[in-house]
Structure 1
């Protein structure tokens, strides 16, 4: 018995074969399409990359080699080298190299601050300024000096810092030749030559060259002391004053005498120790000072300027310290207490003078006549007898006086003021000594 297998039965019908052939053809076409499509994309990408490279190459700065994709960006960049600033503020006349920078600047005049810090709510005119500010909260310092490892929150600060290592000072004053590491420093310096004082106090009209000086001055009016010592709570108007104060707690003495090796907490103390005297001389009376600030305060004796005013009684003072001491009259504060008798005092100088009653000590001696004093201030005034110095001058007649109190008494000659009045007969006197002599007449009559 033979078995026959039909090959015809296993073959697909004609229609199916035709359909299979069409599918195979389609697959081949699709595969071929994918190949050519992929090739075209690669070719296009290569052409685009080549074009971008050619475009970037054609938009390269010939002065510094920096490249840009767009011609416009190169044109904007070129203004760095040319110094061209075609965009001018219509309100203040300040010019800018980019229109975007002018737009940000205009917010100074409009007061617009569209960028707000999510942590403290402070507003800013520019996004970059906000980003820099946020790093105060995060503590992020992404820009690190490769030489000393110091970190910075802003790139501009790192660039300025690097000039300490390189010694570069790219900003030079055309008038005096002095050079600076930062652009802001030369701007502030130029005000010495121009006399510009852009910061004006709205309360007293006083003008300042620098904002920190203006801010410190404003605290005279507000009474604000923003710089507080974390150890004892004492507050200061200036950061520098707090820094000097901290030496009391830390015991740090960074200023050392080259001759004997003795160290001091403050530079002014070192200068006093070495006998160094800076040449700050009063042009009116010839007195010398080792600090310009001390001369500035001293000049108020001659000018009569008293910028520190008591808000309660209107009394004015030449120094902030004097105003603070005066305020104790109103507050009743007496921080200096005598441990021997329990008496309290508003001023340290009065306390020191009082202590002399108990001790009998007079540690301050005049080198010329040998007279002793319990207070250094009294010795200072006494020395004017020998030197002939009379720093208190009457503006009306030019007469000079050793003591401020003497000038005050003298002024009554011009003003006609007679503050001492006899309660018995009503006669008034300009001086206490005259009043006392007069009172003896009544006392003799009574006896």
Structure 2
């Protein structure tokens, strides 16, 4: 009854708005009603919370769930809820293992066509999203948004444990696992767990043997992008890591760190049996064999074993001298 009254009042308002003016032809009631219906249709598909308009009421109803937090579609496998039925259907593929979209470049499979489309840019090197400030390009719009915050200085997400700030809620969430020690990502092949999903993906390649990163100079393939980049410097001769104490340059960061200990005198590797310290882990391993009496280097001539390879090499010279001597006796 209230709705009928409201409609009647609104229609009267529209009729008043279009009331015949002197010298004008009378406005037909039909035209007045059409104007009213058009106004009412627009009003009924506009969100009262944020003013956003939609082409139909169904789209508006779905949108309103953003404000209300309503998620009526629930997964019967894990209990996760969604605002739209389509999102639930996509999610169900996680449980069924269905990945219907396949990359024709590397045979990688995906849950959604949009994810495949983004992935293809890895192969095409396409970066359609450019920063308006510095011109840097990105393959995904999300990465551009995060990059743009470096110009504005916006870091709105704060960790209450250590007061570190982040540009996105997701970066903060991942960081907080350092404090909570939470590792929600479990390997499906072993009991290893990880705090970040990307680390799980890297780890699982140990089990699957997958090597998706191919060298553009030779046929070598790698399980991690960082390993590929390091390898490609063999071909390019790139040495991006420069020593801060001298002019020496290195192709790998690990090699630079090892070298810089010559200047700093740092010896981070301590023997668990005595107080001796070493600048490299390999030196520590060699030293610890003195305590364990482990002798890995064996002479193939007489069977004598040594803890250090260099000692075996010195020993082998004895046999090298002996051989010509035996020939002369014959």
TM range (shorter): 0.5 to 0.7
Equivalent position to 1:240, from 194, 215, 226:
226
Deviations 1:287-325 (A, max 9, x none): 8798xxx9xxx7xxxxxxxxxxxxxxxxxxxxxxxxxxx
Aligned-partner Cα distance in 2 for 1:147–1:200: 41
CA shift at 1:133, angstroms? 4.2
Consecutive unaligned residues in structure 1, runs of 5 or more: 1-35, 299-375, 385-390, 393-400, 408-419, 421-447
Q: Which runs of 5+ in 2 are unaligned?
A: 1-24, 297-303, 305-330
| 1:95 corresponds to which of 74, 77, 81 | 81
What is aligned with 1:107? 93
Equivalent-residue separation in structure 1 for 2:278 and 2:63 (angstroms): 51
Higher Cα Rg, which structure: 1
Aligned-pair CA distance for 1:76 = 4.0
Which residue does 1:250 correspond to in 2?
A: 236
Higher relative contact order (CA 8 A, sep 6+): 2
* One of 187, 190, 196 as aligned partner of 1:200: 187
**Which residue of structure 2 aligns with residue 54 of structure 1?**
43
Cα 1:262–1:83 shift into 2, 3 Å: farther
Q: In the alignment, what sits opposite 2:217?
A: 231
SS of the counterpart of 1:148?
coil
Cα distance, 1:45–1:144 mapped onto 2, change above 3 Å: farther
Change (3 A) 1:133 1:61: farther
Query: 1-side partners of 2:256 and 2:239: how far apart?
Result: 10
Alignment length (residue pairs): 270
Q: How is 1:83-162 mapped onto 2 (pairs within 5 angstroms)?
A: 85=71, 87-114=73-100, 123-133=109-119, 141-162=127-148
Does 2:153 align with 1:167? yes
- Equivalents in 2 of 1:243, 1:136: separation in Å? 15
Q: Residue 359 of structure 1 corresponds to which residue in structure 2?
A: none
| In structure 2, distance between residues paired with 1:100 and 1:194 | 34
Shift of 1:143: 3.2
Is 2:277 the partner of 1:273? no
Change beyond 3 A, Cα 1:218–1:273: same
1:344 match: none
Q: Is the 8 A contact 2:183 2:193 kept in 1?
A: no
| Residues 228 and 242, structure 1, Cα contact 8 Å, conserved in 2 | yes
TM, length-normalised to structure 1: 0.46
1:368-426: CA deviations, max 9, x gaps? xxxxxxxx96xx678x5xxxxxx46xxxxxxxx5356159xxxxxxxxxxxx9xxxxxx
The answer to whether 1:405 aligns with 2:289 is: no
| RMSD (Å) for aligned C-alpha atoms | 4.7
